[in-house]
Amino acid sequence: MAFGIDRDELKQWKLAVRSGEMAFLTHYWLDDRFPGCKTVTKAGCANVERLKDWGKTYGLKPEWIDYKPGFPHYDLFGKVELQVLMDEGLMEQINRFSLLETRETT
């Protein structure tokens, strides 16, 4: 379940993904499969080849893409999530979800 975002943020992410841009959406998310992770960043792009090429730069495998109809994306957690957000200049998301503090204490 997603927490910490509003409908407008989700709408903007979906519009960017559909238009073929690389788009990033971070939100709180709890899943027992990922202990210690309290957030996920969805890195999406409707242009799947672009998404795959982008993923290669972070060592992400194409088979890890979630092919949600209309919104293919990678789910990023932990160190990879933080590195991507830093590399993409998304400090607002890092600060908003206290990702630096979280990673320093785990």
pLDDT digits (tens, 9 = 90+) for 84-95: 999 999 999 999
Query: How many degrees, rounded to 5, is the angle at CA 67 between CA 62 and CA 69?
Result: 155
Query: How confident is the model over 8-67, as pLDDT tens digits?
Result: 999 999 999 999 999 999 999 888 888 888 999 999 999 999 999 999 999 999 999 999
Enclosing domain of residue 75: 2-105
* pTM for the model: 0.89
Sheet holding 73-76, edge to edge: 2-3, 23-29, 39-44, 73-76
Stretch 71-82: mean pLDDT, rounded?
Answer: 96
How far, in Å, CA of 1 to CA of 19, rounded? 25
Q: How many domains does the chain have?
A: 1
How far, in Å, CA of 76 to CA of 79, rounded? 9
